[in-house]
Chains A and B, each alone.
Chain A
Amino acid sequence: DAGVTQSPTHLIKTRGQQVTLRCSPKSGHDTVSWYQQALGQGPQFIFQYYEEEERQRGNFPDRFSGHQFPNYSSELNVNALLLGDSALYLCASSAPYNEQFFGPGTRLTVL
């Protein structure tokens, strides 16, 4: 049984560009959460999707948006990239009322 998968593994963008990151949840999981982890920091909650809707949101600007598809996979979109958006982006999935399992992450570098 595959765990949480994310793509791509690494990504390099320039300031002002837009980026889309993808996540496939663990089998049987219907909830997907996204976290941003800057270098040397703990992960910060961006938002959570359930039943194709954003259910919770952290303290991130509207430049960060997402989507969940009927198969429970999810995308994270970031517009107008800033240098400060450089980070490891982690996706986590969970089944109802159960702990989250984290994917391997996407390392985004903004130049």
Chain B
Amino acid sequence: ELKVEQNPLFLSMQEGKNYTIYCNYSTTSDRLYWYRQDPGKSLESLFVLLSNGAVKQEGRLMASLDTKARLSTLHITAAVHDLSATYFCAVDWSSGTYKYIFGTGTRLKVLA
């Protein structure tokens, strides 16, 4: 059974600080997705990582994928309050099936 684990589950950080969220998964997959979810809202796509070594950046967020280690990271640079949300990683159950297995989520709170 494919398992996807994120850590930390909760993260409280000061504005201006850097931090990394980790996403580990238990079986081979070369497709990984990061989403943001605000309270009561749906999922907003942040990054699509489709190959080993993929790195993508958007604003203060940067995501990377290491398929050999079965690890993805979401790095936050100089956090601002607007980044407060829950972040999910999701792994394609088997490449091409588009059955996504989601991680547990990381609830991020950025303090002013």
Contacts and interface: CB of A to CB of B under 8 A. Distances in A.
A90 B41 CA distance: 10
A62 interface: no
Given A97-B96, A99-B33, A99-B48, A45 B42 contact: no
A59 B35 CA distance: 23
A45 B105 contact: no
Size class of the B contact interface (CB-based, 8 Å):
20 to 34
A33 interface: yes
A36 to B, nearest CB: 11
A100 B104 contact: no
Interface string B80-112: 000000001010010011111111110000000
B98 A48 contact: yes
A104 B102 contact: no
Contacts, number: 54
B99 A102 contact: no
Size class of the A contact interface (CB-based, 8 Å):
20 to 34
Contact of A94 (B98, B101, B102, B105): B98
A102 B100 CA distance: 12
Contact of A42 (B41, B96, B99, B103): B103
A43 B97 CA distance: 17
Contacts of B35: 102
Choose among B41, B48, B102 the residue with the greatest number of A CB atoms under 10 Å from its CB.
B102
B69 interface: no
Nearest to A105: B42
A102 B46 CA distance: 12
6 tightest A-B CB contacts, nearest first: A42-B102, A102-B43, A56-B99, A104-B42, A105-B42, A43-B102
Given A33-B98, A104-B42, 5 more contacts: A33-B100, A41-B104, A45-B99, A56-B99, A94-B98
